[in-house]
């Protein structure tokens, strides 16, 4: 699982216009409905095998700030609505947008993904099947890197990039383990543009651990159990005709998150491009807010 929010997009133009109703809804939900705490992993790209709790809705906002050499600074963002359908099935809907300096602020599309956990008990390694459909254009949220994605993709103007509609099917095999407080997660990614383009491949790996494994006996806001730290690495692996690391981009960075009061989690990660094909630095921010037992709140006898 990952992090994000209902925040205002950081732009001098204000909110991305088509996302305003969504943000207003998020604020309403955040103000009027109670929250729970879910021990979020601090990952931005990598998925862990941990599913959303059944009946809970998590609203998340992720942003990535970057500047390709010879290109304009950008902020790619998405709002995610993650719902635990059952203990072994999580469904998530994303709305994406981006802002490019000296260019424009645009809504870039949507994604819908489902995660299924085939083994219903905890093992030393736990697989999860991930299936996503996305319909985006000019997307800069960088939620995954596949194929030969690289910094040159960020040099095109928004007007030109929007001409290229990407209707894609994305499959992931998520593998996760918990060991002595550590979570170690690996994702193997295969993505297919449904127009006649080859399968592209990528990977993401991450590990994290709470700063304190035991909980404090007293209420606290900044104690060790409220923080998780770790590292994440991800990149492309070429496509069906040119599999490998030649002309692919890769990123590595530390991660930290803080579980604040009232079900809110903040995350941050500076990430560094590992070769000349990558954007040199990315800064990722996330806010998430979890609402417990969403539908139970709308009928009598709710907990």
Partner 1 sequence: MIRRLSLALVLVLAPAAVMFGAADGSWMRNVPARDHEKVSPYGGQDDAIAAGRRIFVDRCSHCHGEDAEGTKKRPPLKSERVQHQATEGDLHWLLVNGNMKKGMPSWARLPDQQLWQVISYLKSLRQ
Closest CA to 236 of 248, 253, 224: 248
Among the listed ranges 71-79, 118-126, 163-171, 245-253, the one in contact with partner 1 (CB under 8 A) is 118-126
Name the token pair of 89: 């099935």
Select from 63-71, 83-91, 133-141, 267-275 the region that touches partner 1 (CB under 8 A).
83-91
Residues 6+ apart with CB under 8 A from 286: 2, 3, 4, 5, 44, 60, 61, 62, 63, 257, 265, 266, 267, 268
Does 221 interact with partner 1 (rule: CB under 8 A)? no
Question: Residue 68, CB half-sphere, CA atoms under 13 Å: how many?
Answer: 19
262 binds partner 1 (CB under 8 A): no
Residue choice 219, 221, 241, 298 for contact with partner 1 (CB under 8 A): 219
Q: What is the largest CA-CA distance in the chain?
A: 59
Q: Which stretch binds partner 1 (CB under 8 A): 18-26, 35-43, 188-196, 266-274?
A: 35-43
- Cβ nearer to partner 1, comparing 12 with 303: 303
Number of residues that bind partner 1 (CB under 8 A): 36
207 binds partner 1 (CB under 8 A): no
Q: Does 127 bind partner 1 (CB under 8 A)?
A: no
Count the neighbouring beta carbons within 10 Å of the beta carbon of residue 201.
Answer: 19
Site membership for partner 1, residue 102 (CB under 8 A): no
Residue the block writes with tokens 């903040």: 266
Residue 38 or residue 141: which is nearer to partner 1 going by CB?
A: 38
122 forms part of the interface with partner 1 (CB under 8 A): yes
Least Å distance, CB 7 to partner 1, is 23
Interaction of residue 70 with partner 1, rule CB under 8 A: no
Sequence-ordered strand ranges (E) for the chain: 57-66, 74-86, 89-100, 105-116, 126-136, 166-179, 182-193, 200-210, 227-239, 250-259, 264-273, 281-291
d(Cα 73, Cα 71) in Å, to the nearest integer? Answer: 7
d(CA 87, CA 287): 23
CB neighbours of residue 121 within 10 Å: 6
DSSP 22: H
Of 10, 24, 27, 87, which one interacts with partner 1 (CB under 8 A)?
Answer: 87
Does residue 51 touch partner 1 according to CB under 8 A?
Answer: yes
CB of 176 to partner 1, least distance (A): 9
Quick one: which segment of 14-22, 61-69, 152-160, 173-181 binds partner 1 (CB under 8 A)?
173-181
Residues that bind partner 1 (CB under 8 A): 36-39, 41, 48, 50-51, 53-54, 84, 86-88, 117, 120-122, 178, 180-181, 183, 210, 213-219, 225, 292-293, 296, 301, 303
């Amino acid at each position: 699982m990952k992090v994000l929010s209902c925040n205002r997009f950081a732009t001098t133009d204000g909110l991305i216009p088509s996302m305003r109703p969504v943000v207003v809804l998020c604020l309403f939900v955040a103000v009027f409905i109670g929250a729970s705490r879910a021990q979020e992993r601090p990952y931005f790209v990598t998925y862990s095998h941990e599913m959303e709790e059944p009946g809970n809705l998590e609203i998340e906002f992720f942003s990535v700030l970057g500047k390709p050499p010879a290109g304009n600074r950008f902020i790619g963002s998405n709002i995610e609505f993650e719902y635990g359908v059952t203990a072994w099935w999580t469904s998530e809907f994303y709305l994406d947008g981006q802002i490019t300096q000296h260019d424009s602020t645009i809504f870039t599309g949507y994604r819908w993904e489902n995660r299924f956990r085939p083994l219903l008990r905890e093992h030393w390694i736990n697989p999860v099947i991930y299936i996503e459909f996305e319909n985006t254009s000019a997307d800069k949220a960088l939620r995954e890197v596949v194929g030969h994605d690289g910094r040159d993709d960020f040099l095109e103007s928004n007007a030109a990039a929007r001409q290229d509609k990407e209707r894609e099917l994305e499959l992931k095999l998520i593998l996760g383990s918990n060991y002595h407080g550590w979570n170690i997660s690996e994702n193997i990614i295969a993505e297919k543009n449904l127009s006649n383009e080859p399968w592209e491949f990528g990977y993401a790996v991450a590990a994290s651990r709470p700063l304190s494994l035991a909980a404090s006996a007293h209420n606290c806001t900044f104690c060790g159990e409220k923080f998780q730290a770790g590292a994440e690495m991800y990149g492309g692996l070429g496509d069906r005709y040119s599999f490998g690391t030649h002309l692919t981009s890769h990123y590595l960075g530390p991660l930290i998150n803080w579980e604040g009061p009232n079900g809110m989690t903040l995350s941050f990660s500076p990430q560094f491009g590992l070769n000349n094909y990558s954007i040199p630095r990315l800064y990722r921010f996330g806010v998430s807010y979890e609402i417990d037992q969403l539908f139970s709140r709308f009928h009598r006898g709710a907990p």
